[in-house]
Amino acid sequence: MAKEPVRVLVTGAAGQIGYALVPMIARGVMLGADQPVILHMLDIPPAAEALNGVKMELVDAAFPLLKGCVVATTDVVEACTGVNIAVMVGGFPRKEGMERKDVMSKNVSIYKSQASALEQHAAPNCKVLVVANPANTNALILKEFAPSIPAKNITCLTRLDHNRALGQISEKLNVQVSDVKNVIIWGNHSSTQYPDVNHATVKTPSAEKPVRELVKDDAWLNGEFITTVQQRGAAIIKARKLSSALSAASAACDHIRDWVLGTPEGTWVSMGVYSDGLYNAPAGVIYSFPVTCRNGEWTIVQGLVIDEFSRKKLDLTGAELTEEKELAYSCLS
Ligand SMILES: NC(=O)c1ccc[n+]([C@@H]2O[C@H](COP(=O)([O-])OP(=O)(O)OC[C@H]3O[C@@H](n4cnc5c(N)ncnc54)[C@H](O)[C@@H]3O)[C@@H](O)[C@H]2O)c1
Ligand SMILES: O=C(O)C[C@H](O)C(=O)O
């Protein structure tokens, strides 16, 4: 019997990530090749015409999984009504001459009002993924202003950073990226994030071997590898004159797919989730941890040994998140 369609909201759908993401969702990349979807797309009034163009293209692509009428709207209530999954890509970008506080203030007000709309109109147990930057703090504001949505349902995207780390290791060792697993992104989706390979392994014909044993270059792993992953977003902007879009859209699909359908046995992924202080991360911020997913719920991988080098890096990115939280709260008052 055909499955019931799942309603998926994409905000900022007329933007460049939205344009890459909606066809992936409609092709089953996010929820599976047998899962029908109803797409809800939200953008702001100046982007209404472009949004309608995206809707026209979705119709023209004749995706078999796309059910019902695509909702393309500038009305946040219409967009949020009945959605099971919300991918929050819309936000206010930093413009020339703007201070960090100005950008934070715009995004705090967007995420505060969209939190209320989701809380009141989304389907019960709606899962939320925040992509728009500052992703961790936007997700925290959304959580604070949607108190009836369980905190465990509100996450932010660090899977792109996770995938970037896998990609760097696979290039260094000249192995398939699918044979590399269990890297970790700790903390903020920013240049203070800590890409950690201390527990990562590579599948070889004889056994799974630690990345450190195979790379045999701790100076590279503790230096250039980390900065390359931390700075990858900036490198893409420099090269494309636009921020990453296809890789961000693909990572958003990976994040939701693993959350809903489960992570493979023995594999963990990185997700920005509400911290209650595990691994001595600051409590009360959205912090990226290694997680496994089963039955639609994530669980932080516990008991990993954190060495002194890593400890400093976990603390540094945690301190930045605490600072961002304070800045966000100062914008509310
Ligand atoms: N977390 C990550 O890994 C990651 C990776 C790449 C980009 N990003 C972030 O994702 C966001 C989107 O990137 P993009 O390249 O698609 O940007 P974009 O500017 O192309 O698109 C953003 C869209 O959001 C819309 N928008 C603005 N305010 C809105 C609101 N209140 N409600 C609904 N829509 C609104 C805009 O009109 C625009 O169409 C940015 O904040 C970017 O920094 C995050
Ligand atoms: O939009 C950005 O600033 C970069 C983006 O978050 C990325 O990681 O590619």
**Chain segment 113-122, per-residue pLDDT in tens:** 999 999 999 9
Name the least confident of 99-108, 304-313, 322-331.
99-108
Region of 95 (left: φ > 0; alpha: ψ -120 to 50; beta: rest) is beta
Q: Active site includes 121?
A: no
Average pLDDT, the chain: 96
**pLDDT for res 202:** 98
What tens digit of pLDDT does each residue of 36-82 get?
A: 999 999 999 999 999 999 999 999 999 999 998 899 999 999 999 99
**pLDDT for res 92:** 86
Q: What phi and psi, each to the nearest 5 degrees, are found at residue 302?
A: -110, 165
Q: 133 in ligand 2 pocket by Cβ < 6 Å?
A: yes
180 pLDDT exceeds 90?
yes
314 pLDDT band, cuts 50/70/90, is very high
**pLDDT for res 308:** 98
Q: Which residues pair with 186 in a beta bridge?
A: 194
DSSP H or E run through 39? strand 37-42
Task: Please report, rounded to a whole number, the percentage of residues in the chain having pLDDT higher than 70.
Answer: 100
What CATH fold (topology level) applies to the domain 6-156? Rossmann fold (3.40.50)
Q: 215 in ligand 2 pocket by Cβ < 6 Å?
A: no
**Ligand 1 centre distance from Cα of residue 324 (Å):** 19
What tens digit of pLDDT does each residue of 74-110 get?
A: 999 999 999 999 999 999 877 777 777 788 899 999 9
Average pLDDT over residues 20-30: 98
Which CATH number is 158-329's, of 3.40.50.1820, 3.90.110.10, 3.40.190.10, 1.10.3720.10? 3.90.110.10
Is the ipTM of this structure higher than 0.90? yes
User: Which atom number of ligand 2 is nearest to the Cα of residue 135?
Assistant: 6
Question: How far is it, in rounded angstroms, from Cα 53 to Cα 165?
Answer: 35
Average pLDDT over residues 243-261: 98
**pLDDT for res 99:** 72
**pLDDT for res 97:** 73
Write out the binding residues: 12-18, 43, 94, 100, 107, 131-133, 164
Burial label, 60 (beta-carbon count in 10 A; 0-12, 13-18, 19+):
exposed
**Ligand 1 centre distance from Cα of residue 138 (Å):** 12
168 pLDDT exceeds 80?
yes
333 pLDDT exceeds 90?
no
Q: In this structure, which residue's CA is closest to atom 4 in ligand 2?
A: 233
User: Which atom number of ligand 2 is nearest to the Cα of residue 161?
Assistant: 8
**pLDDT for res 236:** 94
Ligand with an atom nearest the CA of residue 12: 1
**pLDDT for res 93:** 77
Question: How far is it, in rounded angstroms, from Cα 300 to Cα 77?
Answer: 33
Name the least confident of 27-31, 238-242, 279-283.
238-242
Q: Helix, strand, or coil here: 66?
A: strand
Average pLDDT over residues 303-322: 98
For the chain, which residues make up each domain, given as ranges? Answer: 6-156, 158-329
| pTM for the structure as a whole | 0.98
The identity of residue 194, as a single letter, is Y
Question: How far is it, in rounded angstroms, from Cα 291 to Cα 28?
Answer: 23
1 pLDDT exceeds 80?
no
